[in-house]
Structure 1
Amino acid sequence: MPAKKLARPLLFLGPPGAGKGTQARAVAAHFGVPQISTGDMFRDHVARSSALGRQAKAVMERGELVSDDIVSGMVAERIRRPDCAGGFLLDGFPRTVPQAERLETLLAEAGFPGPLAVNLEVSYTSLIRRLTGRRTCAVCGEIYNIYERPPQQEGRCDRDAGELTERADDREDVVRERLNEYERKTKPLIEFYRHRKALVGVNGDESPEALTGRLIQLLEKAA
Structure 2
Amino acid sequence: MRNFILLGAPGSGKGTQSDHLVKAFGFTHISTGDIIRDNILQKTPLGILCQQYSEQGKLVPDDIMIQMVKNHLQTVTGDLIWDGFPRTIVQAEKLDQLLHKLNSKVDHTLYFEIDETKLVARITGRLTCPTCGQTYHKTAVPPKVAGVCDDDQTPLVQRKDDSEEKIKIRLAAYHADTAPLIEYYLHQQVLTVIDADMEGPAVWDQIMEVLK
CA contact (8 A) 1:134 1:143 kept: yes
Tell me how large the CA RMSD over aligned residues is: 2.8
- The count of residues paired between Structure 1 and Structure 2 equals 207
For 2:82, what is the secondary structure of its paired residue? strand
Asked whether 1:197 is paired with 2:189, we answer yes
What residue number does 1:78 align with? 72
Q: Which moved more, 1:128-137 or 1:183-192?
A: 128-137
What residue number does 2:118 align with? 126
Shift of 1:211: 0.9
Q: Gapped runs of 5+ residues in structure 1? A: 1-6
TM-score of the aligned structures, taking structure 1 as reference length: 0.80
Asked whether 1:99 is paired with 2:77, we answer no
User: 2:79 & 2:151 partners in 1: Cα distance?
Assistant: 31
Which letter maps to 2:93? E
User: 1:163 & 1:193 partners in 2: Cα distance?
Assistant: 42
What residue number does 1:109 align with? 101
Asked whether 1:187 is paired with 2:179, we answer yes
User: 2:51 & 2:145 partners in 1: Cα distance?
Assistant: 32
CA contact (8 A) 1:118 1:199 kept: yes
For 2:27, what is the secondary structure of its paired residue? coil
What residue number does 1:24 align with? 18
Identical residues among aligned pairs (%): 37
Aligned CA distance change for structure 1 residues 58 and 24 (closer, same or farther; 3 Å) = farther
CA contact (8 A) 1:46 1:54 kept: no
Q: Which moved more, 1:38-47 or 1:154-163?
A: 38-47
User: 1:163 & 1:21 partners in 2: Cα distance?
Assistant: 23
1:41-190 to 2 correspondence within 5 Å?
Answer: 41=35, 52=50, 67-81=61-75, 83-84=76-77, 86-190=78-182
For 2:151, what is the secondary structure of its paired residue? coil
Q: Gapped runs of 5+ residues in structure 2? A: none
TM-score of the aligned structures, taking structure 2 as reference length: 0.84
Q: Which moved more, 1:89-98 or 1:65-74?
A: 65-74
User: 1:148 & 1:57 partners in 2: Cα distance?
Assistant: 38
Aligned CA distance change for structure 1 residues 57 and 191 (closer, same or farther; 3 Å) = farther
Which letter maps to 1:109? K
For 1:99, what is the secondary structure of its paired residue? helix
Deviations 1:11-54 (A, max 9, x none): 11110110001111112222212111234556778999x86579
CA contact (8 A) 1:97 1:189 kept: yes
Deviations 1:100-154 (A, max 9, x none): 0011122123332234111010001111112222222222221112232221223
Shift of 1:94: 0.6
Shift of 1:171: 1.8
